Homo-oligomer: A and B are copies of this chain.
């Protein structure tokens, strides 16, 4: 059998894959943030300030380097724009149409990130001419970036309903209203307040603090935090998050 193998099969394994084509590998990030004042879910876009397509909006991106894997590249790209690290990110998928990038054959891997919107470094964001956009007001983006955004929204809707990742978009302490408005923004439908509270309380993964948020009303509303320890414990015992 071995003697029948074409020589390049052996070359492939031992010396590399010289006969194959290479391509550039990019990473593009859909960065989600939740604006607590407007109660709107937003994404952070950068404006190209060089030709061609100067002035057009784009996802923040970068190229995969020799010495990093894709998760690392995505984290690096996010850091470059926001100054944030240790952020929840998830790979969405690969976009590989031949001419998606007119400059050169590049396949791009889309990632989405969930950040607490007030944490980002405003200077770095300004430096990239970046801006937050409501989901309903996303402009036309370069290349196939609108497809990536749509894919990210879909994935977020699914993921947020089966894993407690919504908290990544909120500050450490939040009110029940914040949480509900967040899920309404993600799922793009209104939720019943009493049923929502009931469901969240039944999950039993929040800690109700003694503290109140007095911003929104005279009465004030109690603040909560996500009890990650408890969630992990429960999950280990077979509990599944579901909203």
Contacts and interface: CB of A to CB of B under 8 A. Distances in A.
Nearest to A99: B69
A2 B107 contact: no
Task: Indicate the size class of the contact surface on chain A.
Answer: 35 or more
Interface in A4-46: 5, 9-10, 12-17, 20-25
A121 interface: no
A114 interface: no
Given A1-B49, A96-B70, A22 B20 contact: no
A12 B63 CA distance: 12
A67 B97 CA distance: 10
A93 interface: yes
Given A12-B103, A13-B51, A49-B2, A63 B94 contact: no
A82 interface: no
A64 B25 contact: no
A66 interface: yes
Contacts of A71: 96
A17 B24 contact: yes
Nearest to A25: B23
Nearest to A22: B22
Given A20-B24, A24-B20, A50-B2, A107 B66 contact: no
Contacts of A25: 22-23, 25, 107
Q: Interface centre among A12, A24, A65, A97, by most B CB within 10 Å?
A: A24
Given A13-B52, A69-B97, 11 more contacts: A2-B50, A2-B51, A5-B49, A10-B50, A13-B50, A20-B24, A22-B25, A23-B23, A66-B98, A69-B98, A94-B109
